[in-house]
Amino acid sequence: MPVRPVGEVVGAPGAERVLLHAEVVYDGIGLPRPDAAVLLQAREGGYWLSDVRDHAATARTFPEARAVDGGFAVSPPVVNAHTHLDLSDMAFEASPYAAFMERVIAHGRAGGRGLAAAERGIAELKRHGVTVVGDIVTDPAVMRRLLEDPDLTGVAYWEVIGLRDEEADERFEEARRLVAGFRALERPGGVRVGLSPHTPHTVAPRLLQRLAAWARVEGLPLAIHVAESPLENDFHLHGRGALAEWLAAFGASVAPSGVSPVRYLYDLGVLEAAPTLVHMVNVSEEDVRLVARAGSVVVHCPRSNAALGCGTFPWQLYAKHSVEVAFGTDSRGSSPDLDVTREVAAAREAHGERANVRALVRAAVKGGHRALGLMPPQVRRGGGADGLVVWC
């Protein structure tokens, strides 16, 4: 379900009005509309937005308007709020979560991550019509590449992993030095530098607290992978399972907390920084209440979750507590492509009537911008229609 600019779909401007209708229409203002239409008026060089209305009523009011089918949705451009562009050369494979993590480590050790892979990922993003992205970065060269890209905006999150408490100060100072250098390269309107403590179980508690406190003081966007796999609850609550064995093999000082991963972040004070929380599949209602209280945005990666056997994202629970949701593709290792509209289609299939299609479109646009700390776009009446895309 690739997105295309409005002009490509409706054709060159003529003298007539155009009625572009779709299952969902969203101009970024208020809530998306079901079975609606965008009324376009030709002008020199393109179209301007005359109105957004009910499809049938607008067709009756403007019978002379040329009708164009916009397919599933018309909206401002979608956002990929979570990906790993430096894993774009990793082969997609459905596998258990633990096996996937082993594949990621092996891929990195074999030299598969880095700038060349990220370049291919950036090119793919743009082919899918995405220029707003939240990327997890592990290579300084990739960070510099994202910061200098004239077409991209969003956040490049520098990833930090530190399994042992005795390394906390060293890891923290290294992250602070690197991030300070990256921030000097930021450009107005371009990609911002953020920080990503990898997960609650791969960052020792003291380091996790220091990183979150620093991000809060410095105004750094923060993103953390949380509650992706049931293995995380098994480890945190009971200190057992494949994740516990993996951490022990690496000499981690992260110990079972006796609470859920989300509660663990709350107890450490990490949620005070309102981090963007990625995945959040295996959660309780208490967890969701804590997230709502913190004002965090949750990023949903449905195809990755399905491929790794992580479970079903509790869409209704987040809606019940008014938690903002965004969409991300995750990496090419756990998702077949970087097309966010296909994530939306996968979520629609997985959640069925439990997820309103208008909410899905809103999450892909407004939710994505909010996950990255950006102002959501709005296409107002009288403005250019080039701020809209067609999902078809």
- Check: CB of residue 220 under 8 Å from CB of residue 178: no
In the residue annotation, 272 being an active-site residue is answered as no
Alpha carbon distance 149, 225 (integer Å): 26
Alpha carbon distance 323, 325 (integer Å): 6
Alpha carbon distance 351, 315 (integer Å): 7
Catalytic residue (one of 228, 232, 324, 343): 228
Q: Is 37 helix (H, G, I), strand (E, B) or coil?
A: strand
Rg of the Cα trace of the chain? 22
Q: What is the DSSP string of 192-221?
A: EEEEEE--TTTB-HHHHHHHHHHHHHHT--
List b or e across 160-186, with b for residues whose CB sees 16 or more CB atoms inside 10 angstroms. bebbbeeebeebbeebeeebeebeeee
Tell the burial category of 84 from Cβ atoms under 10 Å away from its Cβ (0-12, 13-18, 19+): buried
Which residues, 6+ apart, have CB-to-CB distance to 84 below 8 Å?
135, 136, 330, 331, 333
Query: Across the strands, what pairs with 67?
Result: 19
Which residues, 6+ apart, have CB-to-CB distance to 341 below 8 Å?
1, 2, 3, 72, 78, 128, 364, 391
Q: Is 319 helix (H, G, I), strand (E, B) or coil?
A: helix
Query: Across the strands, what pairs with 34?
Result: 24
Displacement of CA 99 from its chain's centroid (Å): 23
- Check: CB of residue 156 under 8 Å from CB of residue 132: no
Q: List, by residue number, the catalytic residues.
A: 228
